Amino acid sequence: MSEEVNWQTIRPTIRERTKFMLNNVLFSDVKFVLRKSDGECESKEVISAHKFVLSIGSPVFEAMFYGELADTRDSIELPDCDYESLLELFRYMYSDEVNLSGSNVMGVLYLAKKYMVPSLTEKCTEFLQKNLDPSNVFNILPMAEKYEEKNLVDRCWKVIDIQTGAAVKSDAFATIESSLLEAVVVRDTLTIREVDLFQAVDLWATKQCEKQGAAVNGKLKRRILGEEIIKAIRFPAMKQEEFAGVVLGKDILTKDELETFFQFFSSTLTTPVGFSNIRRSGICRCGRFTSVSRGWYHCYPGGLDCLVFSVDKDITLHGLSLFGSENEDYEVKLQVKNTSNNSAVASKTGTFPSKRLEHSYYYGYEVLFDSPADLKELRHGYCILKRLASFFKFVIRNPS
């Protein structure tokens, strides 16, 4: 509530004046009552609003306030959303601004969809794509599928395929629906050892047993998992010692299945019936250098690097990992070209934070293309052009 006198005179634009009216009782003709959670305490909060402003930003609010069955109440209770999320929806409708965070973006996305504000939906999905990583991908994917955000869904599956090991170790993985678990384990493109995938699936089943308050045992876990998920685990792709050391003790497989696998590992069977022995294709990481020394090389802003290479078979290029310094942000323009006709195959521009690369002692950053680049076997090959818009450092390396 504002007690400013002549407040209009110090706000020269209509945007500033409208922004001033956000959650302001001045001229307000409707109030929204919502729950607000503060740690362990929950209370009810009120947001003052203006029917006209909401209606010009949302066809749903227009129908609610000015349609044939208009809601004439002065106070409306919304049990399906929280205070912070609705306030951000209104902030956007009053000012074209929104303060998104990991804790509110899902709620804001839900409201943007519900009240048909597509530009805000786009901002939410952009935020989620930018902050997508293995720790939250299984939180984001179900929502992306629910709201039919195809680009976000594709990005989620790309993270799962490339960083499967980290994704299935996340807390969110243990809470996913069985339908999503099945969609994961049937994929050919996961990058993970089969025994590690089995352990993640077994842990998921264990959590489900505990959730039901039942004693954890192999028979119950198998019933919870279902035959489709069990048959999708590629036990024959494991090493014999992995199978013996990890799978046997879980008691998920039947005696007949175990006997079949023992015959398989002793080479008396080619393929156990009902289980694939084809290793998942995964994502291969190819290194340009055979070794890396601890030194630094300084480049100037706008510097252009070029790497020419060829492939001896058709491959799909998802992106590149580039060297960098610890806790640095890099503004990069990356382009892949076909050297035979100089045509662009893939490109990516953006700012990328440097972090310690997986299974490495050095730092760098990953640049992943929005759509993977299909590289065909070519005599003349391809080139990668990299331009950095800001000062950077990268690790000195020894070419292979």
Residue 285 is predicted with a pLDDT of 63
The tokens for 8 are 């209009």
User: Which of 207-216, 238-247, 269-278 is predicted with the least confidence, judged by mean pLDDT?
Assistant: 269-278
Nearest to 94 by CA among 65, 56, 64, 53: 53
Distance CA 184, CA 134 (A): 14
Residue 286 is predicted with a pLDDT of 66
Q: What residues does 383 pair with on adjacent strands?
A: 308, 337
For residue 296, pLDDT beyond 50 = no
Residue 339 is predicted with a pLDDT of 81
The tokens for 73 are 């109440």
338-353 pLDDT tens trace: 887 888 888 888 888 8
Residue 262 is predicted with a pLDDT of 87
Residue 392 is predicted with a pLDDT of 35
The tokens for 52 are 């006209």
8-64 pLDDT tens trace: 999 999 999 999 999 999 999 999 999 777 767 778 899 999 999 999 999 999 999
Classify 175 as helix, strand or coil. Answer: helix
Percent of the chain's residues with pLDDT above 70? 86
Nearest to 299 by CA among 399, 386, 398: 386
User: Which of 49-58, 61-70, 136-145, 258-267 is predicted with the least confidence, judged by mean pLDDT?
Assistant: 258-267
Averaged pLDDT of the chain: 86
Q: What angle do CA 310, 315, 317 make, to 5 degrees?
A: 90
Residue 332 is predicted with a pLDDT of 86
User: Sorting pLDDT into bands at 50, 70 and 90, what band is 386?
Assistant: low
| Residue that wins the pLDDT comparison between 297 and 230 | 230
The tokens for 93 are 């409708």
Indicate the CATH number of 289-399 among 3.40.50.720, 2.60.120.820, 3.50.50.60, 3.20.20.140: 2.60.120.820
Residue 378 is predicted with a pLDDT of 61
Residue 298 is predicted with a pLDDT of 42
For residue 299, pLDDT beyond 70 = no
Question: Crossing angle, helix 137-146 and helix 118-130, to 10 degrees?
Answer: 160
Nearest to 390 by CA among 331, 307, 313: 331
Distance CA 117, CA 92 (A): 10
Domain range 7-130, CATH architecture = 2-Layer Sandwich (3.30)
As a whole number, mean pLDDT of residues 169-181 equals 96
Classify 77 as helix, strand or coil. Answer: strand
As a whole number, mean pLDDT of residues 103-128 equals 96
Q: Phi, psi at residue 103, to the nearest 5°?
A: -85, -20
Nearest to 322 by CA among 398, 391, 388, 390: 388
Name the CATH topology of 146-265.
1.25.40
Residue 363 is predicted with a pLDDT of 82
Distance CA 19, CA 284 (A): 50
Q: Are strands 75-82 and 30-38 parallel, antiparallel or unpaired?
A: parallel
| Residue that wins the pLDDT comparison between 265 and 304 | 265
For residue 140, pLDDT beyond 50 = yes
Q: Is the dihedral of CA 127, 132, 136, 140 positive or negative?
A: positive
As a whole number, mean pLDDT of residues 178-196 equals 95
Residue 397 is predicted with a pLDDT of 33
Domain ranges of the chain: 7-130, 146-265, 289-399
